[in-house]
Structure formats: structure tokens, C-alpha cells
Amino acid sequence: MHSIISRVNNVSAFLSTCMMCLLGAIALSSFLFTADPKGELTIAAVKVYNAKVPRYPRRKQEMAFVNFDLKADLTPLFNWNTKQLFLYLEAEYVNTEGVHNEVVIWDRIVRRKEDALIKVSGKNKYAFRDFSRKFKDIPTSNYTLKYSVMPYVGLLTWGEAATTLEPVEFHVEDHIS
């Protein structure tokens, strides 16, 4: 009555249904674990220099260099479904034309719970410049350490671990050759 092919098809359909139900339960259980990571972010200085644009040597542009101190405990974000964390330091400011900008100036990938105690003193990893090429009339900026949790199964989640308490001013310096 039933051939071998139809029996194999029924068994494989049952197993794939069980697998999908298991993966769905894992994805839903990730939302039960709520974590509140703690961190401190201190911006030592934001200095703005005139610099040459690499591809256009006659064009000048102001570039900002951010010196920051960062301490964060991100171990609560790791559970059995966490594959890795993507951390990034974001600068937010409103430029002279009234456009709200969010710029990533530093990032790191954390793959193990043992590496989730972050202590960094340094400067921005990526170029921090504005499209208008000047930071002259931009009064302040805010900085936030954000994270994105990448699970083995389920949806990406994100949040904030630390932020500056007060806006930070841009200090315009002479120039870099």
C-alpha cells in the first residue's frame, strides 16, 4: 500500500516539522532573557583639525579626533543562544543645515563571554568628518556605546550600554600637514 519513498517522505516531513518547532522555541525563549549591561563612557577631548582629502590633494576638510575612555560589563548579554556581540561607539550631532547625523567612530566584535569586560582608552578608529567639510558652527555632540546581539537562532536585538551624560564640544585646532 505504501511504498518506501512515501514512508521516507513522511518521516522526513515529521523530522523537519519537529526541527522547525524546536528552532522556533529556541528563538522565542531568547526573549525571556533580559539583560541590562552597565558601562561608563568618558570623552576626554574632541579636537578638530584641517586635513587634506586623500583623493583630492587641493581640497581641505576638517576631521575630528575623539579621545575616549570606555569601561563596560557586557557579560549579562551572553547566554546559550548568543553567538557574538557587535559593539560600536556612535557620535550624534546636528550639522549647520539642521540634519541629524549618527556616525560610527569605533567598533569591536566580541565572540566570547570572557572577552565581554571591555576597557578601552583610545581614539576613533574611523574617520569622523562632516559632509559640509566644517565643524565650525556645530556646537556639541553626544556619544553612545551601542550593541547588537547576534544569536544562533532568532532575531537580532540591540540596545545601549553607555552614553555621555553631557554634550561634548568640538575644539578646533590649527592644522595637520
Higher-confidence residue of 57 and 147: namely 147
- Residue 19 CA to residue 42 CA, distance in Å, equals 47
Residues 6+ apart with CB under 8 A from 138: 93, 94, 95, 96, 130, 170
User: How high is the pLDDT of residue 48?
Assistant: 85
Q: What are the sequence ranges of the domains in the chain?
A: 1-32, 35-172
In the predicted structure, residue 176 carries a pLDDT above the cut 60? no
Quick: pLDDT tens for 11-39.
Answer: 999 999 999 998 888 777 777 777 888 89
Quick: pLDDT tens for 78-134.
Answer: 988 889 999 999 999 888 888 898 999 999 999 999 999 999 998 989 988 887 777
β-bridge partners, 169: 140
Most confident of 19-23, 44-48, 145-149, 171-175: 145-149
Architecture of domain 35-172: Sandwich (2.60)
User: How high is the pLDDT of residue 177?
Assistant: 46
- Residue 12 CA to residue 128 CA, distance in Å, equals 54
β-bridge partners, 50: 62, 175
Quick: pLDDT tens for 42-58.
Answer: 998 888 888 777 777 77
Q: What is the mean pLDDT of residues 48-73?
A: 83
